[in-house]
Amino acid sequence: MAETQQNQQKFPAVQGGGSLIVAWQVKGKKILVVGGGEVAAGRILNCLNADALVTVISPAARLNPEVAYRVAEKQITHIDRNFEPADLDDPAINMVLVAVDDPAASTTIWKLCKEKRIPANIADVPPECDFYFGSVHRDGPLQIMVSTNGKGPRLASTIRKFIATKLPRDAGSAIETVGRLRVKLRQMAPDPKDGPKRMGWMTSVSDAYSWDEMCGMTDEDMNNLLRYYPSGKVPSIDVLKAMRGNPDVSQLDVFDGSFGFSVGA
């Protein structure tokens, strides 16, 4: 009994009723959108932002201006007619998004998707969804999604906007810098056995610099920073700035006792 109580305090409690929020990679994959109105336009943009291959099935007369624009610009493939069951026979379809003002037709498409094991989302019908679209904040590689599990989409948007106001300035740029540094590090230390060391050092790097410092880091700074990887150390941003144009640390002249050599201001 005592051990059980200790474990209850040690481990997180299960909170049922949620969704498994994941970053679904759909780059280069085919997504079928049924409908061409305002809701479909939002779904289409989300898919294009994820580099998916989007096919829209809808009579041309029912396309809203945004969807019509994307058709004209050849950003999406358009099939000018109503949905037909045979449209799901394409084995390349990875996902179906339905956004039409016809509950009976939507349910029919949902059932067909279930038969073919194709993940589907039926707009505004939570019970007929394998997944939900949340309210997303986007800043470059940074994506933050707020989901109410289909119970309050408008509230999700309000919460998302509030969170966005609390984020550090240029957070996306800082993340881009970290991404480039990780690529350089993996090129320098490609051995899978180095994985734990790479991850540990990158954690130290992320903790060492402010957002502004990370955003201002140049390729030269990153290359100089990587010189510290073998020792597992992370220099201050002032050290990296002092190394610009003069990477020979023995020639720099302001002491930083944490690294055991002289560096310039």
Averaged in consecutive runs of 10 residues, what is the pLDDT profile of the chain (265 residues)? 65 88 93 97 95 98 98 98 97 97 95 97 92 89 88 89 89 90 93 93 93 89 94 93 77 44 36
pLDDT, residue 18, reads 86
Return the H-helix or E-strand segment holding 184.
Answer: helix 171-188
Which CATH architecture is the domain 30-133 placed in?
3-Layer(aba) Sandwich (3.40)
Q: Which of 87, 90, 101, 124 is catalytic?
A: 124
pLDDT at 260: 40
Nearest Cα residue to 178 out of 167, 169, 186: 186
Residue-level pLDDT at 246: 77
Whole-number Å distance between alpha carbons of 231 and 118 = 50
Known catalytic membership, residue 139: no
Residues of the chain with CATH 3.40.50.720: 30-133
pTM of this prediction?
A: 0.75
- Percentages (nearest 5) of helix, strand, coil residues in the chain: 50, 15, 35
